[in-house]
């Protein structure tokens, strides 16, 4: 027994330097990856939408890959480099079906020779297999500001599978294959972060917070850098992160795009007041309801989120204006609202807009 104990102690002594070396190696990897990431800041705070996120530098002159969430729509888009430098940025391209956006640091402020990930090289990396160790880097929970380093999480690829996710009641825009991670990576602010191998090689773009549509549980995932998907409704058209970055443009389906802003008044009276449209894609949350109005009589309440009108999805306040343009006073519309975690169907009989006294 004594000899076995001595062998165990000797083994632990040999093992300890190896463990220390492994920790130092991961630290070195993190020190190489962190300068290739940025903290992204924009308008936020609307019903839980964070005003911060993460981006990946993909060129020496300041192009940044991130997710196509609400942050890139901000008129005051800013990024913080790893050394704390604060810069303004603009949206160059956005591809909703990939749930990805390309930003660019404004030319007059962009430093020269920024460290970056070579996406062309990263896209050649074979798809990882389940069981592969990975690292996730992001600004989740806004832990990092100015020159503070990103959070680092160590995990394993649990699966490579199609994404069936939802943002509230809406289906996730990206439906291709993803890396499902066994670490809790997809938190507020993590979207747009980097998933790398244990050696720091970029392999994926961390997605936003989603609920798995099949299991009704939150899912932690990243979009593979080498992902290619078929464009919806366009035969033979494919979409990829590499194409988005190389062409610096996004595929847009035919038809009139959503209007980011709108002048004028409502076409009909509903009786609800919506939250301020501080983002170009502000969701249509109800802030106040007049008790004797069409919405009040139908049972609408403050904090309701309007999600459908007569079966048509209503993703933004701008889209709500467009839909209500088609209706006239006296029309009855079925309005579905999300209240807490349940959908409620309301019948709203629209009224004429009161005339403004002269």
Residue 165 contacts residue 213 (beta carbons within 8 Å)? yes
Expressed as residue numbers, the domain containing 148 is: 33-247
Token pair 């980011």 in the structure block, residue: 260
| 124 and 242 within one domain | yes
**Is residue 267 predicted with pLDDT exceeding 80?**
no
- Please compute the mean of the pLDDT values over residues 153-182 and round it to a whole number: 88
**Residue 287: inside a domain:** yes
Report which secondary-structure segment, H or E, holds 121.
Answer: helix 119-122
Q: H/E/C letters for each residue in 32-71?
A: HHHHHEEEEECCCCCCCCCCEEEEEECCCCCEEEEECCCH
Instruction: List the CATH number of the domain containing 38.
Output: 2.40.10.120
Provide the sign of the torsion angle of the four alpha carbons 199, 202, 203, 204, taken in this order: positive
User: Where residue 262 falls among pLDDT bands split at 50, 70, 90?
Assistant: very low
Residue 134 contacts residue 198 (beta carbons within 8 Å)? yes
**Is residue 341 predicted with pLDDT exceeding 90?**
no
| 123 and 60 within one domain | yes
| 96 and 241 within one domain | yes
**Residue 265: inside a domain:** no
CB hemisphere CA count around 294 (13 angstroms): 21
**Residue 354: inside a domain:** no
| 60 and 196 within one domain | yes
Alpha-carbon radius of gyration of the chain: 24
pTM for the model: 0.69
| 143 and 42 within one domain | yes
**Distance from the Cα of residue 267 to its chain's centroid:** 33
- Residue 349 phi, psi dihedral angles, 5° rounding: -95, 110
- Please compute the mean of the pLDDT values over residues 88-108 and round it to a whole number: 88
Q: Considering only CA atoms, which of 124, 129, 243 is closest in space to residue 179?
A: 129
| 129 and 278 within one domain | no
**Backbone dihedral region for residue 288 (phi beyond 0: left; psi -120 to 50: alpha; all else: beta):** beta
**Is residue 295 predicted with pLDDT exceeding 70?**
yes
Predicted local distance difference test score (pLDDT) of residue 279: 61
Instruction: List the CATH number of the domain containing 281.
Output: 2.30.42.10
Token pair 């549980």 in the structure block, residue: 217
- Residue 128 phi, psi dihedral angles, 5° rounding: -70, 150
How far apart are alpha carbons 159 and 221 in whole angstroms? 9
**Is residue 66 predicted with pLDDT exceeding 50?**
yes
The mean of the pLDDT values for the chain is 83
Q: Considering only CA atoms, which of 70, 139, 76, 117 is closest in space to residue 241?
A: 117
Report which secondary-structure segment, H or E, holds 245.
Answer: helix 241-247
């Amino acid at each position: 027994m004594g000899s076995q104990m001595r062998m165990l102690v000797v083994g632990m002594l040999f093992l300890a330097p190896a463990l220390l070396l492994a920790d130092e190696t991961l630290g070195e990897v993190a020190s190489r990856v962190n300068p290739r990431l940025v903290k992204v800041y924009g308008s936020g705070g609307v019903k839980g939408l964070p005003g911060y996120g993460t981006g990946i530098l993909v060129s020496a002159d300041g192009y940044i890959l991130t997710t196509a969430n609400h942050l890139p729509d901000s008129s005051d888009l800013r990024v913080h480099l790893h050394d704390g430098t604060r810069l303004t940025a603009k949206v160059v391209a956005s591809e909703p079906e990939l749930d990805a956006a390309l930003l660019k640091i404004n030319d007059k402020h962009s430093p020269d020779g920024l460290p970056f990930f070579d996406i062309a090289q990263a896209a050649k990396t074979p798809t990882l297999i389940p069981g592969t160790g990975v690292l996730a880097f992001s600004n989740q929970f806004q832990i990092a500001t100015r020159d503070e380093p990103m959070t680092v999480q160590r995990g394993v690829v649990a699966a490579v599978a199609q994404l069936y996710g939802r943002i509230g009641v809406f289906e996730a825009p990206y439906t291709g294959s993803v890396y499902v991670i066994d670490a809790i990576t997809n938190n507020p602010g993590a979207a747009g972060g980097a998933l790398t191998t244990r050696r720091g090689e970029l392999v994926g773009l961390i997605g936003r917070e989603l609920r798995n549509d099949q299991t009704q549980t939150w899912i932690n995932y990243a979009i593979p850098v080498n992902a290619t998907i078929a464009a919806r409704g366009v035969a033979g058209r494919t979409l990829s992160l590499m194409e988005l970055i190389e062409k610096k443009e996004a595929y847009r389906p035919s038809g009139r795009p959503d209007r980011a802003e709108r002048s004028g008044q409502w076409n009909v009276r509903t009786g609800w007041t919506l939250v301020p449209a501080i983002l170009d894609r502000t969701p249509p949350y109800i802030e106040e309801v007049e008790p004797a109005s069409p919405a009040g009589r139908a049972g609408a309440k403050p904090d309701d989120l309007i999600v459908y009108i007569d079966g048509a999805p209503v993703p933004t306040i701008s889209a709500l204006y467009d839909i209500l343009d088609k209706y006239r006073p006296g029309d009855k519309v079925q309005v579905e609202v999300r209240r807490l975690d349940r959908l409620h169907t309301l019948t709203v009989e629209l009224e004429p807009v009161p005339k403004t006294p002269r």
